[in-house]
Structure 1
Amino acid sequence: MHSHLSFENPPALPHEAVVEVLERALHDRSAEGEAASVLVGTALNDNDADFVERWCREVGMRAVPGSPLLGLAGLCLGHAARRFGHLSDEALALVESLALRAEADPSDVDGRALDGYDDVRSFLHLW
């Protein structure tokens, strides 16, 4: 019998639930797995561009060094750039900063930040 692995993008959750999960993960690393799913679901499926960007920025600025949420925040900002066609100057600076940190030390920020930076440059025609 073959088992087929399938991947489904997580859904967008109500904003109150997103905030609760992400805030918990920023204070308790044991919640990072759930937070990762919530952040991806928000970046891919929530239609409130300001909310998506704000929480990607919060996670990217506040997660501790070495947290997988740092690279994921950069990647999710790339998703936001693709979906909404713009990012704030603060988000652009964060994406670049996370990518530079990933290049300098992948144990600090993982390589997904580089993918997010590439997406931002491609979709927003920057740099």
Structure 2
Amino acid sequence: MNDDDADFVEFWCVQVGTRAVPGSPLLGLAGLCLGHTARRFGRLSDEALALAESLAARAEAEPTDVDGRAVDGYDDVRSFLHLW
């Protein structure tokens, strides 16, 4: 996350969030990272936005699949991208 290239940071958040196996703590981390990316750079691609929403929904439905950090991340996405 300590990089000024928004596309690079987002790319790796999406890679982790789409490649990690169900139940991996990396899924919640990816959702949280997308929230931090939205805060730092003020934007996310449609793909990243959809992933953040999906990870949060999975976390709410089954916390053993994706941990609650994904919900926190999606809350940040909605807040910093003014999607309320």
Which of the five TM-score ranges fits, normalised by the shorter chain? over 0.9
Partner Cα separation in structure 2 for residue 46 and residue 74 of structure 1: 18
Alpha-carbon displacement from aligned partner over 1:48-77 (angstroms, at most 9, x marks no partner): 100000000000001000000000000000
1:95 paired residue among 34, 45, 52 = 52
Counterpart code for 1:123:
F
Residue in 2 that maps onto 1:38 = none
Q: Which stretches of structure 1, 4 residues or longer, exceed 3 Å deviation after superposition?
A: none
Normalising by structure 2, report the TM-score: 0.98
1:87-126 to 2 correspondences below 5 Å = 87-126=44-83
Equivalenced residues, count = 84
Residue in 2 that maps onto 1:80 = 37
Name the Cα RMSD after superposition.
Answer: 0.6
| Stretches of structure 2 lacking an aligned partner (at least 5 in a row) | none
Three-state SS of the structure 2 residue aligned to 1:66 is coil
Residue in 1 that maps onto 2:25 = 68
Q: Bigger radius of gyration, 1 or 2?
A: 1
1:58 paired residue among 15, 29, 39 = 15
| Stretches of structure 1 lacking an aligned partner (at least 5 in a row) | 1-41
Relative contact order (C-alpha < 8 Å, sep 6+): which is higher? 2
Residue 118 of structure 1: how far off its partner (Å): 0.2
